[in-house]
Structure 1
Amino acid sequence: MATATMQTHKREAFGSRNVFILSAIGSAVGLGNIWRFPYVAYEGGGGAFLIPYLCALLTAGIPLLFLDYAIGHRFRGSAPLAFRRMHPAAEALGWWQVLICVVIAVYYAVIIAWAGMYTWFSAQLAWGPGKEQEFFLGDFLQTADVAEGGLSTTFLPQVGLPLVAVWVVVIGIMALGVKRGIGRANLVLMPLLTVMFAILVVQALFLPGAMDGLNAFFTPNWEALADPAVWASAYGHIFFSLSVAFGIMVTYASYLKRKTDLTGSGLVVAFANSGFEILAGIGVFAALGFMAHAQGTEVSGVATSGIGLAFIAFPTIVSQATGGSIIGVLFFGALVFAGITSLISILEVIVAALQDKLGWARIRTTLTVSIPLAIVSIALFSTTTALTVLDTADAFVNAFGIMAVALVAIVVVAWILHKLPALQIHLNTRSSFRVGILWRLLLAVLAPIVLGYLFISELVSKISEPYSGYPVWFVAIFGWGMVVALVVLAILLSLLPWSARSHAKDDPEYDEFLLDEQYDPDPETGAVHLPAATESGARS
């Protein structure tokens, strides 16, 4: 009987450390690396921005990444299970992270669908020269004003059908599991993404005016370093860029073998992500330099970010450049691959949480999670008001979802549960790069200060006036209402009992971790640390 239980609850694992690193990089390298970082850096002082960016990476991004790895690997579970094993009262933090991923997954898929369609459009230059904005907002999205007509139910097949295709592909990957699905997908997609983007960058560098774009991107504005907003922008970008603090890296780390080098892996992931961002900055601003050259204007007049950069500015570049169709296919194809590797990591947070809680088989859990999310995604974002809903949900879930849960989680782990010393021991026992008191100070002191400042700044900004001028009722539902619902639902989910078949009970691998901790000495003092009572009690 005991043997059957052990087989039922055997946790999935990545095939190797290298597959984990590729998967973690795939999660971190997403749409924001390509369409957000270049503009953030440009606005933050160009080359001078690399100073606050590096400071944010070293003092906040990497320490938080190590924290997520330590929690997931030490407590061997999805976000809710890992936090529950840390302390039963902390389980709600895990569900908060899961629900944030639910919201992101619903709208993230549609951007991948748009990019997929624009890969096809690029081959034909379907939008026509000079009509890029009209094509995107009018012909393609047929954008309607929510202030005039409310939420639309008009189905757009040119968006809905590719969105269905995205969900079919992603659900197929998820159903295959961690090793055969997520691991293999990243083994294929990440090298393809890297090669495609490298070719795109090389091609962009040979466009007329490319050097003007690079000068605009790299020329340092040292005065910007005196602006606190620039530093806040650097820290804010790093928090989102590395996929920390909303369950992804906790979940991925739980699939690692017991003796994996955690901090060494984290350093590879962090610097690979930053390297890709700088590469994206070079490619994007070389292309924008060409656009400015072709239009006879300054780079500052064409520089933009986000959806405007991807679906309006880049099609303009594609229309004007020699061999523009190739540039378009490479750019939007890269967006598709980067989006898929990130989306599967977001979905894995949700699937792993329910699988741990309910003890269901992989395929059953995947379908139970993914099909409802796909239906909501298609229903909301295949309509003429999709862009407005996406813009609002994205702004609020980032500011008051990811940032808020990161702040609360750090305060709980560092100041209430006092778990940082034990997590430091866990990291140092298994890793090549050892962390010490500086790591704990950065997490316990600096991170809450920075996150608190960013959170308050966003709160003041959003309260002072309706977001983007949207109707109050609309922002109340898709902005503030969503934020409150995430917290309430997280608490309610944490109160639900765990299934008798759940991975929280009779988990032999977690028990082996507890035995490891009993006999692994503190690498700094040589003392033996027994597991805390709350850790063993959390399994009951």
Structure 2
Amino acid sequence: MAKNVGADGRETWSSSTGFILAAVGSAVGLGNIWRFPGVAYDSGGGAFLIPYLCALLTAGIPILFLDYAIGHRYRATAPLAYRRMAKKTEALGWFQIVLSFVIAVYYAAVIAWACSYFVYAFDLRWGQDTLNFFVGEYLQVGDPEISTTIVPAVAIPLVLVWIAVLVVIALGVTNGVQRINVIFIPLLFIAFIGLVLRALTLPGAAEGLNALFTPDWSALADLSVWIAAYSQIFFSLSIAFGIMVTYASFQKRKANMTSSGLVVAFANSSFEILAGIGVFATLGFMAHQASTSVGELEGLTGPILSFVTFPAVINEMPGGTIFGVVFFASLIMAGFTSIISILLGVAASVSEKFGLSSTMSAILVSVICGTISVTLFSTTSGLLALDTVDQWANNIGIVVSAIAMAILVVWVYRRSELLRSHLNAVSTFKVGRWWIAMIGIVAPVFLSIMLIDKLRSLIMDGYEDLPQWYLGLFGWGTIAFVLVGAAILTMIPWNGRDKADFTPWPPLGDRAEEEARR
């Protein structure tokens, strides 16, 4: 398949469908399957859908539109797009890209676990004691330390994951990223619908759904429930860390951006609700088998749900082998489409900054990421390091990025009206000035509350009883690494595409934009 190239010489998606499937592939990831159901259950059950929908409409979709507007108007990955918008904001772009680099490094390890468990599902190799198998025999988890002991069962699939990522990214936007999403996303939805239908036929499924959807209306008065809703929407849409800016930059000049964004946002939320139904119908079966209630079960969210609780359910389920194979194949597809979106932004940014070919950049970035990933996360300390880095990268790094993006665009450089005009010039669904209020006031206010709450918790209470030196190294050290990396990359002179030869389209006659370009 030949590459699609736009009038400006930039590679493009072959169609809006290709872009939408790729964006859905980025948004629908592991967190949709193992995070949303548990968060909903802990946050009021059916009542949680009200703050969830509010968060989607007031923060998720508006910030998604903001990412789209920046990427599509300035035709570049986050660092160069921000630089073209206003020179001093380049550092924010690099903050997002270095953050993506960090997330990719540990995210690949979880995909490797899913690959191992996909193989194990054929003979239910995890046995009856699924917890001890996961943390003991498989991951060989030890004390919090910096371990150099490689676990072959993790390292081998992890290397294979990085080889696959390298191949897809090196093939480019059309032949690599788009093609894999066109195949994987329909398969993922078909597979997961099959899992849900099977789960609904299990004894106890109704009790599981009642546990998930029975509303606790008093939860709506709890601020933490609203924070949880904004947190879930925010983390599940792949916004504010450069991914959607990059994806939008590969859209054709005349592309219906807002309508595509609505499809992506609602497809992502639909999958989360579908995952909630499947997960809790399955947990209802597990509770039925144990003659207990869903509320008495442990491991209702995160990796423990996928790699401990679900294998235990599969052991008891008629036809469990088939269910397990399809479930872990779904995890692989969801994770893989997300990681290639993360790495595409990193590789394309390096290509633009240093003037490298897309293939050379893909090889360089994948080799560096893969080496760090195998070195840190295939060891006996990999699980603890991964969990710690993930907490700080997601709950601190991405939230800081979004707040900074909203403040710089709306209040400091006042580009919100220009970007709104751009979206309306190329899209059928027009956004009004309400959009500026959402990205400039509502979203940053809720995100700031989230950030303050999480900072207070991490500073005062620590995390998972881990020693302070460990949290300092893998937690706060992650944020320091992102900040220093962003500063260094910003100071390096541009050897590739800069903004001098770029003219935004369509011309909107914005004087501030012209001055920024000069």
- Give the TM-score taking structure 1 as reference length: 0.93
Match of 1:98 in 2: 97
Match of 2:125 in 1: 126
- Give the TM-score taking structure 2 as reference length: 0.97
Shift of 1:451: 0.8
* 1:127–1:472 CA distance, 2 compared to 1 (3 A): same
Q: Secondary structure of the equivalent of 1:123?
A: coil
Number of residue pairs the alignment of both structures matches: 513
Distance in 2 between residues matched to 1:202 and 1:457, nearest whole Å: 39
Match of 2:210 in 1: 215
Which stretch shows the higher mean deviation, 268-277 or 119-128? 119-128
1:140 aligns with 2:138: yes
> For each residue in 1:193-238, what CA deviation from the matched residue of structure 2 results, as whole angstroms up to 9, or x when unmatched?
1111111111111111011001111111111111011011000111
Distance in 2 between residues matched to 1:534 and 1:302, nearest whole Å: 60
Preserved CA contact (<8 Å) 2:84 2:499: no
Q: 1:48-447 residue pairs with structure 2 within 5 A?
A: 48-129=47-128, 131-146=129-144, 150-302=145-297, 304-447=300-443
Distance in 1 between residues matched to 2:367 and 2:513, nearest whole Å: 40
Shift of 1:452: 0.6
Preserved CA contact (<8 Å) 2:500 2:517: no
Match of 1:522 in 2: none
> For each residue in 1:309-366, what CA deviation from the matched residue of structure 2 results, as whole angstroms up to 9, or x when unmatched?
0000000000011111111111111000000000000001101111111121111101
Q: Which runs of 5+ in 2 are unaligned?
A: none
Match of 2:514 in 1: 533
Match of 2:38 in 1: 39
Runs of 4+ with deviation above 6 angstroms:
6-9
> For each residue in 1:498-530, what CA deviation from the matched residue of structure 2 results, as whole angstroms up to 9, or x when unmatched?
00xx122564xx43x34x314xxxxxxxxx656
Computed over aligned residues only, the root mean square deviation of the Cα atoms, in angstroms, reads 1.4
Preserved CA contact (<8 Å) 1:392 1:478: yes
Shift of 1:8: 12
Preserved CA contact (<8 Å) 1:201 1:283: yes
Paired amino acid for 2:426: R
Paired amino acid for 2:137: D
What's the % identity of the aligned pairs?
50
Preserved CA contact (<8 Å) 2:80 2:499: no
User: 448, 456, 459: which one pairs with 1:460?
Assistant: 456
Q: Which runs of 5+ in 1 are unaligned?
A: 1-5, 519-527
Preserved CA contact (<8 Å) 1:105 1:346: yes
Match of 2:507 in 1: 517
Distance in 2 between residues matched to 1:124 and 1:31, nearest whole Å: 24
Shift of 1:10: 2.1
Preserved CA contact (<8 Å) 2:13 2:19: yes
Distance in 2 between residues matched to 1:277 and 1:185, nearest whole Å: 21
Distance in 1 between residues matched to 2:484 and 2:119, nearest whole Å: 42
Q: Secondary structure of the equivalent of 1:436?
A: coil
Preserved CA contact (<8 Å) 2:90 2:490: yes
Preserved CA contact (<8 Å) 2:6 2:12: no
Preserved CA contact (<8 Å) 1:9 1:503: no
Distance in 2 between residues matched to 1:171 and 1:8, nearest whole Å: 27
Q: Secondary structure of the equivalent of 2:507?
A: helix
Q: Secondary structure of the equivalent of 1:153?
A: coil
Distance in 2 between residues matched to 1:451 and 1:210, nearest whole Å: 36
Distance in 2 between residues matched to 1:458 and 1:505, nearest whole Å: 38
Paired amino acid for 1:29: V
Distance in 2 between residues matched to 1:330 and 1:485, nearest whole Å: 38
Match of 1:521 in 2: none
Match of 1:478 in 2: 474
Preserved CA contact (<8 Å) 1:189 1:341: yes
Q: 1:501-512 residue pairs with structure 2 within 5 A?
A: 502-505=496-499, 507=501, 510-511=502-503
Paired amino acid for 1:155: I
Paired amino acid for 2:270: G
Which stretch shows the higher mean deviation, 298-307 or 194-203? 298-307
Q: Secondary structure of the equivalent of 1:467?
A: coil
Distance in 1 between residues matched to 2:456 and 2:156, nearest whole Å: 39
Shift of 1:533: 2.2
Distance in 2 between residues matched to 1:506 and 1:168, nearest whole Å: 36
Preserved CA contact (<8 Å) 2:114 2:331: yes
Distance in 2 between residues matched to 1:53 and 1:454, nearest whole Å: 15
> For each residue in 1:126-166, what CA deviation from the matched residue of structure 2 results, as whole angstroms up to 9, or x when unmatched?
0112x1111111110111011xxx21111111110010111
